[in-house]
Amino acid sequence: MQILAAVDGSRASVQAARYAAVIALASQGTVVLALAVPGASRAPLPVAAGDAVLDGARAELLPIGAPLREKLLPGPPAEAIPRELHASHYDLVTLGSRGLGESGTPSLFLGSTALRIVRGAEVPVLLVRATEVGLPVGGEGVPRISSLLVPTDGSLASLSAADTAARLAQALDAEATLLHVRVTTRGREPAPAETELFALSQAPFARRGVSVRSLSLSGDPTHEILRVAREQAFDLIVMGTYGAGEPWHQKVRLGSVAETVLVGAPCPVVLTKQPALTEM
């Protein structure tokens, strides 16, 4: 996999880059360490312009052994990173939940840069949440990725997440669990029959010869996803940006379930969109 690891000097972004390196190594891919340079308008920029940040990130990733390249991106991160994703082929982008220096946020937990990237990215986004004191959720160091939790509800975004999870599980030799939470709340659109839902979500795994187990529960989706993630100590959650029955404006931005899971998840989260709903 070709992975863009956006770093800014924050510990969360460096930890996210470690995830990029582990995934790239397992998939025989490459990590492109990228640093946005606000105020710069010309490209390409000399790598020396961001030596301190890039050197620090490179030093953390080199022991993992994944091939590395470095790239400076002219402009503010919220503009430069989406532009780079549009201009080149990537399979995944990684970043911290908040950029270095961001204090306020228009979302419950996402910094403004991360929120804009999630909204506009045409590829899955792996986010490492920063705690209140700036430490990456789940700790620091070379991550273990041996178990994936994949919430599914029949939405196109969740089916896209299942496909992403199948690719990751195959590359990492990881165990994957599909989780469907039956919602009884009035006012939501009816979900596909559970048997059909699991069959659709299992298809990407079957195509790759990857085993996957299925778990069905009843209750509030957010509560159950977070409870299962904590109790079974999953290493990564892979989910869509919106759920079945959520309003259209959330489908093109970030659904309430996805956002609340990001707030409370005990591990990093990979968010995927249905390509047709990606903002250009």
pLDDT for 251 beyond 70: no
Q: What is the mean pLDDT of the chain?
A: 83
| pLDDT, position 46 | 56
Q: pLDDT tier at 112 (50, 70, 90 boundaries)?
A: low
| pLDDT, position 167 | 96
Please state, in angstroms and rounded to a whole number, the distance separating the CA atoms of residues 19 and 3. Answer: 10
Q: What is the pLDDT of residues 129-172, one digit of tens each?
A: 887 777 888 889 999 999 999 999 888 888 999 999 999 999 99
| 210-237 average pLDDT score | 94
| pLDDT, position 23 | 98
pLDDT for 279 beyond 60: no
| pLDDT, position 42 | 57
What's the order of all strands across the beta sheet hosting 68-74?
68-74, 30-37, 2-6, 92-96, 125-128, 269-272, 236-240, 147-151, 175-182, 212-218
Among the listed residues 4, 19, 5, the one whose alpha carbon sits nearest the alpha carbon of residue 172: 19
| pLDDT, position 26 | 97
pLDDT for 28 beyond 80: yes
| pLDDT, position 247 | 45
| pLDDT, position 262 | 85
Fill in the amino acid letter for 37.
Answer: V
The helix/strand/coil state of 129 is coil
| 247-267 average pLDDT score | 69
The helix/strand/coil state of 96 is strand
DSSP letters, 46-73, are PGGGGHHHHHHHHHHHGGG---EEEEEE
Task: Give the burial string for 155-178 (b: 16+ CB within 10 Å, else e).
Answer: bbbbbbbbbbbbbbbbbbebbbbb
| pLDDT, position 107 | 43
Q: Which of 38-47, 137-146, 264-273 has the lowest mean pLDDT?
A: 38-47
Among the listed residues 243, 22, 280, the one whose alpha carbon sits nearest the alpha carbon of residue 128: 22
pLDDT for 243 beyond 90: no
| pLDDT, position 50 | 57
pLDDT for 205 beyond 90: yes
CATH numbers and ranges of domains, the chain = 2-128 (3.40.50.620), 147-277 (3.40.50.620)
Q: What is the pLDDT of residues 73-106, one digit of tens each?
A: 988 888 899 899 999 999 999 998 764 444 444 3
| pLDDT, position 24 | 98
| pLDDT, position 263 | 81
